[in-house]
């Protein structure tokens, strides 16, 4: 059973601080990793995808991937109250043309305190 785990939270950080969200996955052959943000009562919104080991930056967001440790994280710099949401980690294990399903973690609730 392939699994994706995340800190359930809630995670509270003061405005302007760095929020760190963590995700681990069980399938060693996983290739593609996604972070989604979901506001309460809304649908998930893609923040970032990452496929290679290392860091990927997009504005205030940085995704970090370590396939050897089966670990992916999302850093949010200069956190704003508008960043308060649930963050979903999603993992895809398909290789080449073979298809597998995308597995989501349970999400981490982030609260940014003004």
Partner 1 sequence: DAGVTQSPTHLIKTRGQQVTLRCSPKSGHDTVSWYQQALGQGPQFIFQYYEEEERQRGNFPDRFSGHQFPNYSSELNVNALLLGDSALYLCASSYNGQGHQPQHFGDGTRLSIL
Which of 62/93 has CB closer to partner 1?
Answer: 93
**What is the DSSP secondary structure assignment for residue 2, as one 8-state letter?**
-
Structure tokens at 3: 């699994």
- Contact characters 45-64, partner 1, x per CB under 8 A: xx--x-x-------------
CB contact at 8 A, 80 and 112: yes
CB contact at 8 A, 64 and 54: yes
Structure tokens at 40: 């309460």
Span of 12-20, 57-65, 70-78, 86-94 interacting with partner 1 by CB under 8 A = 86-94
Nearest to 65 by CA among 104, 106, 102, 25: 25
Using rule CB under 8 A, residue 29 touches partner 1: no
Of positions 63, 65, 72, 88, contacts partner 1 by CB under 8 A = 88
Using rule CB under 8 A, residue 22 touches partner 1: no
Please report, as ranges, the residues that interact with partner 1 according to CB under 8 A.
Answer: 4, 31-32, 34, 36, 42-46, 49, 51, 88, 92-94, 97, 99-107
């Amino acid at each position: 059973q392939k699994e994706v785990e995340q800190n359930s939270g809630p995670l509270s950080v003061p405005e302007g601080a760095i929020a760190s969200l963590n995700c681990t996955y069980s399938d060693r052959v996983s290739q593609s990793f996604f972070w989604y943000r979901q506001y309460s009562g809304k649908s998930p919104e893609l923040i970032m995808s990452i496929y290679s080991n290392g860091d990927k930056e997009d504005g205030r967001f940085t995704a970090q991937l370590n396939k050897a440790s089966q670990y992916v994280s999302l850093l949010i710099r200069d956190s704003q109250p508008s960043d308060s949401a649930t963050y979903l980690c999603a993992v895809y294990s398909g290789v080449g043309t073979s298809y597998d399903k995308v597995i989501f973690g349970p999400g981490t609730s982030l609260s940014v305190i003004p």
